[in-house]
Amino acid sequence: MSKKKQPTRKWLTIVGIGEDGVAGLGDEAKQRIAEAAVVFGGKRHLGLVSSLAKGEARPWPTPFDAEMRDVLALAGKNVCVLASGDPFFHGVGVTLARKVTPDEMLVLPAPSSLSLAASRLGWALQDVEAISLHGHPIDLIRPLLHPGARILALTSDGDAPAAIAGLLDENGFGPSRLTVLEALGGPEEKHRTARADAFDLKKINSLNVLALEVESTTDARILPLTVGLADHLFEHDGQITKREIRAITLSALAPRRGELLWDIGAGSGSIGIEWMLAHPSMRAIAIEADEERAARIRRNAAHCGVPGLVVVEGTAPKALAKLETPDAIFIGGGGSDAGVLGKAIKALSAGGRLVANAVTLEMEALLLDQHTRRGGDLTRIALSRAAPVGSMQAWRPAMPVMQWS
C-alpha cells in the first residue's frame, strides 16, 4: 500500500494590514505575525506591527525585488509577509503567487482600499470601474471617461489627483466631481471633494484613492466602446487606415484576450491602438520607418489611453528580426514588398491571423498570388462619401481596398 502523501507545510503567511494596524487584525493574523521567525514588509507596515512581531523585521529592498529572492531563500521556515489591504488586489500576494504554490501559503486579507472607498461613498463595487494608476501612466484612465461613469483609481502619490484632474479638464470632463479619500481606515482618514476644472486641494496624503463621478462638456474627447474610432481622434498626416476600413480590418484580425499584434507600416498607429483598446490584456508592436510618424504614434497611443503600445522604428522586414512572436499581423495598404509578407507569414504563431490591405495594383497582385497559393479570404471594400458638387451633393468614391486574411 502506498504511503499517503503528506500535506505541504504552509511556511509562508501573507497578512493584509490596514492603516489601523494591529487593531484591525484578527486573532489568527496576530498569532502568525508574533510566531514568525522573519517578517517582511514596507517600513510603514513593519512599524504598525512592531509591538506584536517578535522575529526579525526585514524591510523590502530598494529597488523592490519582484523575484522575491529574500523570501524564497527562507522557504520552509516560518515567514510572514505584510501587505496593504487585500494582498491579491494589485498587491505583493500576486507577486508571491507566481513563485509559491497555494498549498505553501496562508493568506489573511484585510479590506482593500477600493472596498473601503466604496463603503465610504455608498457605491456598489460591481457598478464601478476600478483601475490602478500606481506606478503607471495616468493616460490609462482615458478609455474609462464616459459621462455617468464612476471610477475608483489607485494613485501613486499626493500629486496624482491634481494631475488626473488636469487631464480631465483638458479633455472636456471639467464638470466631473473628484473625491480624494486619504489614509483610509486609519486615524488620519479624511475625504475631500472638488470639480476637475476647479481642483484646488493641497497637501494630499500620498496614500489616497481617487473617486471620479464623470461628467462631460459637449466637446469632450470620449473614446467610444466600438471599433472604428473617428479619424479626428488620431493625429495623422493622411497615412491612416480610415474609420470604416479600420473597423472591417479589426473584425478580420479578431482580437482575443492577451494576444500580441504586429502592425507593420503603422502610419498613425490606429490599428494597433484600437487592438489594445479591445481589452487591457492586449499588446501591440507598431513598426514604422518614418521617425516623425513613429513619434506621432506614441502621442496617439497616450491620447487614446494605451501608452503601453511599443513602437519599433525601422524598415520591414529587417525591423521584424528578434521581435516577440505575434498572434496576429496587420500589413497596411501601400506596400508591395513580397519579402515583408513572406517574413510576416513565417513569423506567425500556430493558428495566428494575418490581414493585409492593398490599395495599389502591385500590392493587389501580390495578395492575389498569395490567395491562390495559400487560400484564405479575399474581400474588396469600396466606400463612397457624400460631398458637395456645386450647390448639391454627390457620392465621391474612396480608393477601393482589397483585403486578404
At 184, which CATH number?
Answer: 3.30.950.10
Percent of the chain clearing pLDDT 70 (strictly above): 97
Burial of 242 (0-12, 13-18, 19+ CB in 10 A): middle
Give the pTM.
Answer: 0.89
Q: How big is the CA angle at 164 (ends 155 and 137), to the nearest 5 degrees?
A: 60
The pLDDT-based confidence of 8 (bands split at 50, 70, 90) is: low
226 part of a folded domain = no
Q: What is the DSSP letter of 306?
A: -
251/390 same-domain check: yes
- Kindly report the average pLDDT of the chain as a whole number: 94
Residue 349: predicted pLDDT: 87
Picking from 185, 213, 241, the residue at the C-terminal end of a domain is 213
The strand pairing partners of 330, in sequence order, are 263, 355
373/277 same-domain check: yes
Rounded CA gap, 288 and 319, in Å?
9
200 part of a folded domain = yes
Residue 239: predicted pLDDT: 86
Is 40 in contact with 22 (CB distance < 8 Å)?
no
Q: What is the pLDDT of residues 221-235, one digit of tens each?
A: 999 999 999 999 999
Residue 36 belongs to domain spanning: 12-110
Q: What is the pLDDT of residues 331-376, one digit of tens each?
A: 986 666 778 999 999 999 888 999 999 999 999 999 999 999 999 9
243/334 same-domain check: yes
220 part of a folded domain = no
154 part of a folded domain = yes
Q: Measuring CA to CA, which residue among 201, 90, 226, 89 is closest to residue 146?
A: 226
Burial 264-300 (b: 16+ CB within 10 A, else e): bbbbbbbbbbbbbbbeeebbbbbbbebeebbebbbeb
141/172 same-domain check: yes
Picking from 159, 180, 213, the residue at the C-terminal end of a domain is 213
151/196 same-domain check: yes
97/161 same-domain check: no
- pLDDT of 4 > 80? The answer is no
235/127 same-domain check: no
222 part of a folded domain = no
Average pLDDT over residues 386-405: 94
Picking from 89, 110, 131, the residue at the C-terminal end of a domain is 110
Residue spans of alpha helices (H) in 265-388 = 270-277, 291-303, 338-347, 361-374
Q: What is the pLDDT of residues 97-133, one digit of tens each?
A: 999 999 999 999 999 999 999 999 999 999 999 999 9
Q: How many domains does the chain have?
A: 3
- pLDDT of 292 > 80? The answer is yes
- pLDDT of 159 > 60? The answer is yes
Rounded CA gap, 108 and 93, in Å?
10
209/250 same-domain check: no
Rounded CA gap, 164 and 183, in Å?
19
Residue 28: predicted pLDDT: 95
Q: What is the pLDDT of residues 62-78, one digit of tens each?
A: 999 999 999 999 999 99
Nearby residues of 275 by Cβ (< 8 Å), 6 or more positions away? 250, 253, 255, 261, 263, 282, 284, 328
43/177 same-domain check: no
Residue 60: predicted pLDDT: 95
The strand pairing partners of 40, in sequence order, are 58, 81
262/400 same-domain check: yes
67 part of a folded domain = yes
Cell of 202: 493641497
Sheet containing strand 177-182, strands side by side:
129-132, 150-154, 208-213, 177-182, 190-195
Residue 238: predicted pLDDT: 87
- Cα 358 to chain center, whole Å? 31
58/142 same-domain check: no
Residue 7: predicted pLDDT: 46
254/207 same-domain check: no
At 290, which CATH number?
Answer: 3.40.50.150
94 phi/psi in degrees, rounded to 5: -65, -45
At 105, which CATH number?
Answer: 3.40.1010.10
